[in-house]
Chains A and B, each alone.
Chain A
Amino acid sequence: MEIKKCYIYLNGRAIGSVDNPAKFVNEVRTSRRKGQISGEVNISYMEKLGEVRVNTDRGRIRKPYIIVENGQPKLTTEMIEKIKRNEINFAYLLRNGVVEFLDAEEEENALIAFFRKDVTPETTHLEFDLASVFGLTINTSPFPEHNALARHAMSANFIKQSQGLYSTNFDQRFDSRGYLLYYPQVPIVTTAAYDYANIKSHPSGQNFVVAISTYYGYNMADAIVINKSAVDRGLGRSVFYKSYSDEERRYPGGQRDKFRIPPPTAEGYMGEHAYSKLSEDGIIEPEVSVDEGDVLIGKVAPPRFLEENIGAGGLEEKVRDDSVVLKAGENGTIDSVIATETTGATRIVKVRVRSQRIPEKGDKFASRHGQKGVIALLANQEDMPFSENGIVPDLLLNPHSIPTRLTFGHLLEMLGGKVGAVSGKKVDGSAFTTSGKNRIDEYGNTLSQYGFDRHGDEILYDGITGRPFKAKIFTGVVYYNRLYHMVSNKIQVRSRGKVQILTHQPTEGKARQGALRFGEMERDALIGHGASLLLKERMLDQSDKTSVLVCSQCGSMGYYDYIKRTAICPLCGGNSLEEIEISYAFKVLLDEIKSLHILPSVKLNE
């Protein structure tokens, strides 16, 4: 084959050419391994394209491998011994050309062996461990090789959302929101990644006794039944921290905010009761229980418009109430208050409110296998199924949640968790350590040693009738995370309430006590059913119904003159006006059309 001139691309830009690409690439790699050029440089030779690609930019995903030369891995047994004795570390291996990082493009040039015994003279690299084909995220779930990838993606998301010990100095922090589990546990079934990534010191869940069983239809379609008595003993209990803060701002013209209980003369004064929990300095005290509408930080600000202050002479300065109020639907106890100064020498106050979150109907839980569910029933312990040993499950998972999702890892964890619970030992669930069959055999042997069914099945008795179930129920221990989606933070109701100023339609969103939007697709659904009166109720009667007077002669909008006791059309001066019901949005539209210098007129029938 003729040797073509090969172009060199540096971070995607052609910078030159080389006559002998293979030799050039080798030279670059050698000097990288010697430490002459940065270890972050990756080079690859695309033979078919006749290109050499050098990448030095950021954002590439790179992975370390042991370098193999002439069929010999450069990580020798002596080195491994030294590492065990803590004499050398990873950085040493990297510096001395034992280990190197490859990016996706350079990997195309490599022949990577999984095990030492697979190394041939052609091999260029060696994997550290089979589990390293997965990243950290996947390696934190046990038995990852038994789950579908989509479930791993979900699982990673759920772990991100889980409540746990997110920080050991949580009591010193003023996070805007913090979720803390009361009794976090280290999982019984862990993986190697739990040690390497120091996850054990920040656990985010608890080991639940799980039975795969239905319960009077209460755990259909991803709903779960939880043992109420276990919840009363502290299962899944967490605390929710929310921080509020405010600052004494300075304004041009020498005016400034002031922390204090606002005087009744202040603009927007909320009434004596709202400020009753504040101490003399206008700031709330720790361990005071607060409810919605209570003021946490009293503050007065200068009025919005300067003129208001002119001419007040001698009287008390006019101020505006700018206090921080606990939002609607929230309550709790003041956990901590700090007052300090910013670098700009203005006073700043932070208040942290704590409230307990006991698991309730609608709260979300998930295992590490992407199996999520919301509580549909908190069943009393005496009503829950129990085993002959008197063990009552904490959670009942519907059997239908397993086969369609193919989360075999969840089943393995139940078995492994049970083994750990009965033997008092940690169970290793790292990827690819042994085959699934071996694991089942091993766990089965241990279980039968302790007098349990080797498949993890239990004879359960119905808590309500006391009769044994006809089928044996698969029972085990699974590490469950409580996710931060909790009903108490989301629940909201409204019958009548605030409306928007412009359109007179109901407000939107929880923070504004809003209504739920009856959108375009919902509108289409009602049209599709021909339900015209229901549609009218949604779009008009329950929304922005207004009645206006319309002139029957010229069709413009008029008003009622209460002094003369007649309706008047301002355009033609006529007195025969009819009252019609229209949406306020339509009135706004007519007004806006008028602002375009177009005169709309309303013709009335009958």
Chain B
Amino acid sequence: MAMEKNANKYKVNYGEPVGMLAAQSVGEPGTQMILRTFHYAGIEATIATSGLPRIVELVDVKKKPATPITYVYFNSDIEKNFEKSDAMSKKISEIKVSSLVKRVVENFSKSTVKLVLDKQALAAEELTPNQVAQKIAKLMSVETEVNEGNILIKLHTKSLKEIRVTGVRIMKKVIQGIEDAGKALIQQSKDGSFYVITAGSNISEVMKLDGVDKSRTYTNDVFAMYKLFGIEAARNTLANELRKTLEEQKISVDDRHLLLVADAMTYSGTIKGVGRHGLSGQKNSVFARAAYEETVKHLVNAALFSEVDPMKGVTENILVGKQIPIGTGAVKLAIKKEDIKKVKSGE
């Protein structure tokens, strides 16, 4: 009860310009970000986009973020144990043939493709040439043979094109881990438990693995979260990512501003950006849209469809010179003037 009372005390007043306050509260500290680019130590800082580019990426809703990262958490029996966690990490970490191969030698007369392996890379991934050869044979359904630590692929075709295409296609094959999950790196959190971050995002496949804690695992790819979990998850991810990016730069913005931004971007059920193709471009008012960008386009379209401006927003009311429906302008008399006169005269 006390909490409810307290919470009600801090309700936003009717007519409070929350949008303007949110915009200013995020925008003003944002100006300081351009000048300051400082990084935290650790692997995350080196692979993740941060600062203003990341904010722009979030509010403009890029379909694919520049640096997708998945945070994979494990069940309690795995996360306390390094060996088990490391094994999970190996299952996730995506290894492509190309990362293990130094060079490809095609032999068109013998119809073979020789993969010269990078022994150091192989050793780092704890793989043997034989293992790789078997994997390739399975994936491509071809005959393979290990020769002096290199892999020889025998093809049953004389077509030069096919031989070359096979060579190229093999390089893209994933021989271990989850496709598009990217390289996985094992991390230790403050409480000593292990988790994994990956330089890629294929969260739906990662979730299918046994031992992955589905309640905590998430990705910074807002769209991936939306597809897998729905709009509420996307909204939370958006707000969390905004806050994280700002906090990295030692900028503290009240959560409610960020939640409002996230709400505005997601309330329609899909994710909308804030720019020309999103919130600003889809305002109700013709004048507000025309005042923002592409003035003529909006005016002409409004004429084509005989649009009526409802005059409910701020911009359009300032334009014509009316009171804005915000703050002191948001309230209206409940009784008509004539009625007051009637009451006074005792009618």
Contact = CB atoms under 8 A, between A and B. Distances in A.
Interface of A: 523-524, 527-533, 535-536, 539-540, 545, 581-583, 585-586, 589, 593, 596, 598-599, 603
> Which 5 pairs across A and B sit closest by C-beta, in order of nearness?
A530-B327, A532-B329, A540-B321, A583-B321, A598-B303
B20 A593 contact: no
A446 to B, nearest CB: 47
B321 A527 contact: no
Given A524-B24, A593-B299, A598-B300, A530 B17 contact: yes
Given A527-B20, A598-B303, A532 B308 contact: no
B327 A529 contact: yes
Given A532-B323, A535-B318, A593-B299, 15 more contacts: A524-B20, A527-B324, A529-B327, A530-B15, A530-B327, A531-B328, A532-B325, A532-B329, A533-B329, A536-B321, A582-B320, A586-B321, A589-B319, A596-B300, A599-B303
Contact of B17 (A528, A536, A598): A528
Contacts of A527: 17, 20, 314, 324, 326-327
A530 B16 contact: yes
B321 A582 contact: yes
Nearest to A589: B319
Interface residues of B, number: 25
A535 B324 contact: yes
Contacts of B322: 536
Contacts of B303: 596, 598-599
A532 B328 CA distance: 6
A533 B327 CA distance: 9
A528 B319 contact: no
Contacts of B15: 530
Contacts of B16: 530
B330 interface: yes
Nearest to A603: B308
B97 to A, nearest CB: 37
A586 B286 CA distance: 13
Contacts of A583: 319-321
Contact of A528 (B24, B320, B321, B330): B24
Interface string B309-347: 000001000111111111111100000000000000000
Contacts of A582: 320-321
Nearest to A544: B321
A598 B308 CA distance: 13
A527 B23 CA distance: 12
25 contacts: A524-B20, A524-B24, A527-B17, A528-B21, A530-B16, A530-B327, A532-B324, A532-B328, A532-B330, A533-B328, A533-B329, A536-B323, A536-B324, A539-B318, A540-B321, A545-B321, A582-B320, A583-B319, A586-B320, A589-B319, A593-B299, A596-B300, A598-B300, A599-B303, A603-B308
B101 to A, nearest CB: 31
Nearest to B329: A532
Interface string B282-317: 000000000000001001100100001000001000
Contacts of A530: 15-17, 326-330
- Main secondary structure on A side of the interface with B: helix
Contacts of A586: 319-321
B47 to A, nearest CB: 30
Nearest to A602: B320
Given A532-B327, A533-B328, A593-B299, A585 B20 contact: no
Contacts of B20: 524, 527-528
A545 B324 CA distance: 16
A481 to B, nearest CB: 31
Nearest to A597: B303
A593 B324 CA distance: 23
Contacts of B324: 527, 532, 535-536
A601 to B, nearest CB: 9
Given A524-B24, A527-B17, A596-B300, A532 B319 contact: no
Contacts of A529: 327
A535 to B, nearest CB: 6
Contacts of A599: 303
A596 B300 CA distance: 8
A596 B321 contact: no
Interface string B14-41: 0111001100100000000000000000
Contacts of B327: 527, 529-532
A598 B318 CA distance: 22
Nearest to B286: A600
A603 B319 CA distance: 16
A535 B321 CA distance: 9
Among B21, B318, B319, B322, the one with the most A-chain Cβ atoms within 10 Å of its Cβ is B318
Contacts of B314: 527
A27 to B, nearest CB: 45
Among B300, B319, B321, B329, the one with the most A-chain Cβ atoms within 10 Å of its Cβ is B321
A540 B326 CA distance: 17
Given A527-B314, A598-B303, A581 B321 contact: yes
A593 B286 CA distance: 13
A568 B12 CA distance: 48
A533 B300 contact: no
A17 to B, nearest CB: 31
Contact of A596 (B299, B323, B328): B299
A539 B319 CA distance: 8
A586 B287 CA distance: 10
Nearest to A539: B318
B20 to A, nearest CB: 5
Nearest to B308: A603
Interface string B241-266: 00000000000000000000000000
Contacts of B323: 532-533, 536
A582 B318 CA distance: 10
Nearest to A530: B327
A532 B320 contact: no
Contacts of B300: 596, 598
Nearest to A532: B329
Contacts of B299: 593, 596, 598
A589 B319 CA distance: 10
A545 B322 CA distance: 11
A596 B314 CA distance: 25
Contacts of A535: 318, 324
B292 to A, nearest CB: 12
Nearest to A535: B324
A548 B266 CA distance: 42
A532 B326 CA distance: 6
Given A524-B24, A527-B20, A528-B24, A585 B326 contact: no
